[in-house]
Amino acid sequence: MDINYFEQVWGKRKTDKAARQVFWDNRAEEFNAKTHKNENGKRLNSVLELLISKGMLKEERSVLDVGCGPGKYSIEFAKHANSVTGIDISPRMIEFAMENAGKESLNNVSFELLDWEEVDIKAMGWEKKFDLVFASMCPAINSRNTLEKMVGASKNCCFLSTFVEREDSVKDHLSSFIDWQNAKKDFSKTIYSAFNILWLTGFRPEITYLDTEWENVYTMDRAIELYISHFEMTQPLSTEQRAYITDYLGQIAENGLIKEKTKAKIAWMHWKI
């Protein structure tokens, strides 16, 4: 097997950029609110411990956070590194990130509205610029090209975390009806393909696995908005599909609320350049 094989296995779902921005804008407030709560806070601390223990995060180092969201990791990195740059496709996420950094009075972190899939690291002057290129649960790392850009922007090390298994009590049922390009199968492809592409390129990635679970609770209107925008990232929904989502959510609602239970296995992969 060669690199081309794993590139084909990984593939890349076609997505609509405007629809992706809408979806992540819609989730920005939710992500911002739970940044340090429960499982998210524990995971944040565990990632920091790993990066520091491996020497990937130090005072004199620079960091690029791809898919920074509301700045959860970028802001913590700024307390341990010399400089941090966070990028995200969502304007609302970037707004929250800037507000959160301002509250911490940090002047060594900046945020830019950028789509990693479209970023030209040479034109940006980012070739071998950052000591650590970091991407946590970032959908933009979805192909050989986006992975190689992480490597190209780093002069020291990289970190990538992603799902390898995931079960969503509500979303999985809706996916089976909508046939969302077999999205569920894509979870294992990222870490499997990325690891092998890196290995065949001469890197020796290390992987740690984490089992986790959580529950999200939404109002009926909020759930309809989120699930429709989720599926529309890759395909326009028909009137029938929209109606099915609304009807199904109405059937499972409890006191007007939708509960989504998620169980997942997450991989943390890091490698030296």
User: pLDDT tens digits for 134-188?
Assistant: 999 999 999 999 999 999 999 999 999 999 999 999 999 998 887 654 445 567 7
Could you tell me the CA-to-CA distances from 263 to 17, 29, 236 in Å, in that order?
28, 22, 28
Nearest C-alpha neighbor of 6 from the set 268, 155, 210, 188: 188
Nearest C-alpha neighbor of 38 from the set 216, 240, 239, 243: 216
In this prediction, residue 106 carries a pLDDT of 94
Task: Indicate whether 23 belongs to any domain.
Answer: yes
Task: Indicate whether 226 belongs to any domain.
Answer: no
Task: Indicate whether 249 belongs to any domain.
Answer: no
Q: 93-106, pLDDT tens digit by residue?
A: 999 999 999 999 99
Task: Indicate whether 245 belongs to any domain.
Answer: no
**Would you put residue 97 in left (φ > 0), alpha (ψ -120 to 50) or beta?**
alpha
Name the one residue in this structure whose structure tokens are 């079960």.
167
Q: Are strands 206-219 and 257-272 parallel, antiparallel or unpaired?
A: antiparallel
DSSP H helices in 111-143: 121-124
Nearest C-alpha neighbor of 133 from the set 147, 144, 120, 119: 147
**Which range is least confidently modeled, 8-12, 211-215, 227-231?**
8-12
Cα–Cα distance for residue pair 201/122, rounded to 1 Å: 20
3-state secondary structure of 139: coil
Task: Indicate whether 10 belongs to any domain.
Answer: yes
Q: 113-140, pLDDT tens digit by residue?
A: 999 999 999 999 999 999 999 999 999 9
In this prediction, residue 37 carries a pLDDT of 60
CATH number of the domain enclosing 60: 3.40.50.150
Task: Indicate whether 27 belongs to any domain.
Answer: yes
Task: Indicate whether 95 belongs to any domain.
Answer: yes
pTM (predicted TM-score): 0.92
Task: Indicate whether 136 belongs to any domain.
Answer: yes
Q: How many structural domains comprise the chain? A: 1
Domain that holds residue 119: 3-167+182-213+263-272
Q: What does DSSP assign to residue 237?
A: P
